[in-house]
Structure 1
Amino acid sequence: MILKYEGKTKNVFELEDGHFLLKFKDDVTGENGVFDPGANTVGLTIDGAGLAGLRLTTFFYEKLNEMGVPTHFVSSNMDEATMTVKPATVFGKGLEVICRFRSVGSFLKRYGAYVEEGQPLDAFVEVTIKDDDRLDPPISEDALAQLGILTNDEYATLKEATQKIASFVKDELAKKDLELYDIKLEFGRDAKTNEILLIDEISGGNMRAFRGTEYIEPLELEKIMLAPE
């Protein structure tokens, strides 16, 4: 097992069989000790966040695989807080795709002259470049194509997949009387087939969920979602 990459919230190892192993950490993104799924820095450490993230990620990935949605998910090991995944390449140096159902966070900061806090949005999709030095700037479809990061056809696939996956997560949360405000997803290309895949995690650490006006913390979200009926 070879350490390939040390990330903010997980480490990545290469396995002998060609698959990769993601080791989940208790670090979450945010600023000044406040959790923010859209932040590009580690803001705080929450004991148990890694395992909670893995449990919820596994819950969503197993359902998405059953639905036939292309993902990199293979299996999880809760004892080790690890997830085994297919090898995949990222777009450029990495992209994040956000699907927004309400105006909060960085969207509200940028467009506050035109929207009110919490204003409903119609599964609005935006793409940002993973670039810590430049604070993960948003990028348009035209720029993505002209810079050779992904084609217009790939962008259309990415957008459609994002809205489908985000709407699925939103519906799953609604079953527990929760509302999804926004979610951050990542995609890559299957290293063997070049098919666009959902990669990384789907957990409380990369989404904002509310019950009424109450924000649900990542660990609490995992407990609510995985509580027996």
Structure 2
Amino acid sequence: MGFAVLTIASTLAALVTSAGAAAPAASPTSAAATPTSTPSAEPGTMLVVGDSYSSYYGNRHSRYPGWWALLGAELGLEPRLEAAAGTGFLARADSCASTRFRARLDTVRATDPEILMIEGGRNDWRRCTADGRVVESTRTEIEQATDAFFAELAGLWDELNRPRADVYVLSPWGTTKARKGRIIRPIVREAAQRHGFSWVETRPLSLEQAPDGIHPNNEGSRFLHEQVLQNSDLSQRFQRA
């Protein structure tokens, strides 16, 4: 009788031990170790406000890719273009029907880009009068228009809670109106820097790079894109493609 009780007790103990070993409780450590997948982030936006140095050209797959398209691909950013030929901080094109850069600030606000490129100044040697005539600009008029634009942009950019250094400013030039360039480009540079934006120095395009003395060919667009990379911190900030 005693032997039978002992045998049953031993058997029950073995079953309990066996069941406990076969089904261990899950620990927080083992649950946390389960791998999870994270969706890839969308590329940031690079908005370009500019003139014909930007508007005459297409994306990097087109026949004539723009400097901005090459730059966006290099930095892994999605470029968006807000540019019109003949326009600038003061200029409104030959027809006087286009808008100055200030009119495009609503697009800046709506887009809220990661990077903002301001390309211009080449056309600001001229302006439109109230009756629609094109006349030569004075230095004071260029200074006032340029500073007014950057002052308004600074306020908008602060509202978006973005660092002002994320605005990059360049003023490309060709071989024509070189004397105007020596006046206008420093005005643009000083106004941009005064408001805390990043100035990007670019060398004037040669006739091989801009056969009409103004607009870059493919070689010129590549040159401008390389100048922006060399003379800014963008290549350090963004992963190259």
Larger Rg: 2
TM-score, length-scaled by structure 2: 0.28
Which structure's residues are more often strand, by fraction?
1
TM-score, length-scaled by structure 1: 0.29
